[in-house]
């Protein structure tokens, strides 16, 4: 089987559907499988999920980044979420038959092409990083677009990996390779953003919380939100993170009001959640009726 | 698209793998999609799940019933679960593009064929029932194989719908049509089977409990088990039933030790469980990465 690579670009536009649709159409025109597209007006941000062969996915990403650079002006963009560019983060993720190294190579090749052909500054992150201090996305993104403007990008530490050391209204593109992650937000029943920040600090790995969890506290839709990335749901499953947030909220007299999934989640995450709460050990994809039928119809072995 | 019908026969053999494999091979030889096969040594019972076109599924069921009748002797069969025959219950279930009426017709045709060609007594149940008092499976199965023997089958109320009014060591076959159900067992942390029976009475519809839930209390593997069928998980979702069992257990100072799924579950049940416990409203199949890819590769619209 041919390798399948996923790409999950985040664009700094979540309020004007026509702009998002134009970016999505540009991506789809490369012949990829479009798996999802969601806009978040509060974060003023959209995430598109697509997959395909390495060549198709790289071309789709290029077209999406080019469209975003043409259509989005960061000088007029506002939103809660930190961002460097119009096409803010463009990760390649290995799916079937693909490796993280394949994705890193793809990201580096695309980064060079974006720098050369679109004249955008490009930073490589994650497994594609060329500098060790750029492996972590939050480090690359620190200070946001504003920190790059007015010559900030000419500081040695902000020198782009590809493209010019000058920034226009499309900002910079952060391109990289990583493993699958789950982006999951929990809303609390309060507008006390400080509570969300405290809970984020309690649960995230960087301040001694749960392994493979990134978390920020912010105010979204008038509600305190704990916004999280789960970097390895095999070792730190979603339900354990949600229950940790629930407990941290409860000890402050607060509760979870609702939660939100950004993009897609691997099927195994869903199985693990059900297995946990139902105390149903050994639940696997082969026990899902529609999945079994779908596998048989594709001529693939059952799980 | 061609209609797809599922068939989930239950066979009265769960301890001798070679026998079960022979039955499964007989079913598979009809060109159906084999979706699952599980044996339960305690209940001494196996459930096979397969699907396909109406013709293939009917032929697969015929071959499975014929093999079971040849290989299983109810006079030497023991197990916790009530049963009438070697091929005990053979329900047809409508999946894509199929209706419950299609399944009822298929069950009636197969019932006639089983009676004529295999000379087994056949009872029709569910949506395929020819007598109103045979719509409910527990009513058809009451008293088990033993109640049919020694002339019991010649009572007017036990007159088979097809086949002879005499019973051999293969017993009778109960063939029918129903909607998808979820078969789910909960084990308690006790061997007090009376507690399981009390909880079963508290949660099942027939004694004023939860709608569309059937439940029995039994002793399995030295543990009290609440064995359930959920007949409509759209209106009575799995998590609500499990939480009701948990609460009934807790008020007796007991807890759920583990649970067990028999056969397959619809994908929507899994989504509803995750949605409930994660407080993640609006979760749908289109948010599952592998499902989206599978749909795209089959050329089908995403959920």
Which among A264, A283, A286 has the least Cβ separation from residue B288?
Answer: A264
Report how far apart, in Å, the C-alpha atoms of B28 and of each of B32, B37, B92, B175 are: 6, 11, 16, 19
Residue B13 contacts residue B45 (beta carbons within 8 Å):
yes
Listed residue (B101, B79, B61, B60) closest to B16, CA to CA:
B79
Given a cut of 70, whether residue A303 has pLDDT beyond it is no
Give the A:B interface size as CB pairs under 8 Å. 139
Q: Is B28 on the interface with A (CB under 8 A)?
A: no
Q: Write out residues 159-188 of A within 8 Å (CB-CB) of B.
A: 180
Where residue A172 falls (left for φ over 0; alpha for ψ -120 to 50; beta otherwise) is: beta
Bridge partners (DSSP) of residue A229 are A183, A214
Beta strands in chain B (DSSP E): 5-7, 10-11, 33-40, 45-52, 87-94, 122-126, 173-177, 182-188, 213-220, 223-230, 256-262
Res A115: pLDDT = 97
**Nearest chain B residue to A34, by CA:** B296
Q: Does residue B300 register a pLDDT over 70?
A: no
**Comparison of pLDDT for A120 and A78, the residue scoring more:** A120
Give the closest-approach CA distance of B241 to chain A in angstroms: 10
Q: What is the tens place of the pLDDT at every residue in A153-201?
A: 999 999 999 999 999 999 999 999 999 999 999 999 999 999 999 999 9
Supply the Cα-derived Rg of chain B in whole angstroms.
Answer: 20
Residue A273 forms contact with B (CB below 8 Å): yes
Lowest mean pLDDT among A136-150, A215-229, B55-69: A136-150
Average pLDDT over residues B186-209: 97
Using the Cα atoms of residue A300, residue B2, residue B3 and residue B8 in order, give the sign of their dihedral.
Answer: negative
Alpha-carbon separation of residue A233 from A96, A99, A236 (angstroms)? 17, 18, 5
- The CA-atom distances, in angstroms, between A157 and each of A139, A144, A165, B12 are 11, 14, 11, 72
Structure tokens at B150: 């020694």
Chain B residues touching A286 at Cβ < 8 A:
36
* A257 interface with B at CB cutoff 8 Å: yes
Pairwise CB contact (< 8 Å): A242 & B289: no
DSSP label of B171: B
For range B216-230, the mean pLDDT: 95
Q: B293 — contact with chain A (CB < 8 Å)?
A: yes
Rounded distance between C-alpha atoms, residue A127 and residue A104, angstroms: 6
pLDDT of residue B81: 73
Task: Give me the phi and psi of B263, to 5 degrees please.
Answer: 70, -145
Judged by a CB distance cut-off of 8 A, whether residue B33 touches chain A is yes
> Among candidates A296, A93, A293, which has minimal Cα distance to A179?
A93
Q: Is B297 close to A298, i.e. CB distance below 8 A?
A: yes
Average the pLDDT over A13-29 and give the result. Answer: 97
A288/B295 touch (CB, cutoff 8 Å), yes or no: no
pLDDT in tens, B266-292: 999 999 999 999 999 999 999 999 999
| B298 contact A CB<8A | yes
Residues of chain A with C-beta less than 8 angstroms from the C-beta of B283: 261
For residue A27, give both structure tokens.
């991506």
B296 and A35 within 8 Å at the Cβ level: the answer is yes
Domains of chain A: 5-177 (3.30.990.10), 182-265 (3.30.70.670), 266-303 (no CATH)
Q: Among B242, B267, B292, whose Cβ lies nearest the Cβ of A288?
A: B267
Element (H, E) at A289: helix A289-297
Nearest-CB residue to A279 (from B256, B265, B291): B256
pLDDT tens sequence across B132-168: 999 999 899 998 998 998 889 999 999 999 999 999 9
Q: Which residues of A are catalytic?
A: 81
Range A17-32 average pLDDT: 97
Kind plus residue range of the DSSP H or E element containing A220? strand A213-220
Share of chain A above pLDDT 70, in %: 98
Q: Is A2 on the interface with B (CB under 8 A)?
A: no
DSSP letter at B114 equals I
Total Cβ atoms within 10 A of residue B222: 9
- Partners of residue A295 in chain B, C-beta under 8 Å: 294
Residue B43: the pLDDT is 84
- Of B95, B70, B80, residue with least CA distance to B45: B80
Share of chain A above pLDDT 90, in %: 87
pLDDT at A302 over 90: no
**Confidence at residue B192, expressed as pLDDT on a 0 to 100 scale:** 98
Identify the pLDDT of residue A301: 58
The model carries a pTM of 0.88
Chain A residues 34-73 within an 8 A CB cutoff of chain B: 34-36, 49, 51
Please check the confidence at residue A235 and state whether its pLDDT lies above 70: yes
**Segment A250-261 mean pLDDT:** 98
């Amino acid at each position: 089987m041919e390798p399948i690579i996923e790409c999950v670009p985040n664009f700094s536009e979540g309020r004007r559907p026509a702009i998002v649709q134009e970016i999505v159409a540009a991506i789809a025109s490369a012949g990829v499988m479009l798996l999802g597209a969601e806009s978040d007006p509060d974060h003023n941000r959209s995430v598109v999920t697509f997959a395909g062969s390495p060549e198709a996915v790289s071309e789709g990403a290029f077209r999406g980044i080019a469209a975003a650079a043409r259509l989005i002006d960061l000088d007029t963009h506002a939103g809660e979420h930190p961002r460097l560019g119009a096409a803010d983060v463009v990760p390649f993720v290995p799916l079937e038959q693909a490796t993280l190294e394949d994705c890193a190579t793809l990201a580096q090749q695309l980064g060079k092409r974006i720098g050369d052909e679109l004249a955008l500054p490009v930073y490589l992150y994650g497994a594609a990083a060329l500098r060790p201090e750029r492996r972590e996305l939050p480090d690359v993104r620190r200070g946001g677009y504003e920190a790059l403007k007015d010559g900030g990008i000419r500081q040695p530490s902000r020198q782009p990996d590809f493209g010019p050391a000058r920034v226009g209204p499309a900002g910079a593109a952060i391109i990289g390779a990583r493993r699958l992650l789950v982006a999951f937000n929990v809303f609390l029943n309060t507008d006390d953003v400080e509570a969300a920040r405290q809970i984020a600090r309690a649960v995230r790995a960087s301040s001694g919380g749960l392994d493979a969890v990134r978390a920020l506290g912010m105010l979204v839709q008038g509600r305190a939100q704990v916004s999280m990335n789960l970097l390895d749901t095999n070792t730190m499953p979603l339900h354990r993170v949600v229950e940790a947030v629930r407990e941290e909220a409860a000890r402050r007299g607060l509760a979870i009001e609702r939660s939100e999934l950004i993009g897609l989640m691997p099927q195994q995450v869903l199985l693990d959640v059900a297995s946990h709460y139902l105390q149903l050990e050994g639940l696997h994809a082969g026990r899902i009726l529609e999945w079994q039928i779908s596998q048989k119809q594709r001529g693939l072995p059952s799980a």
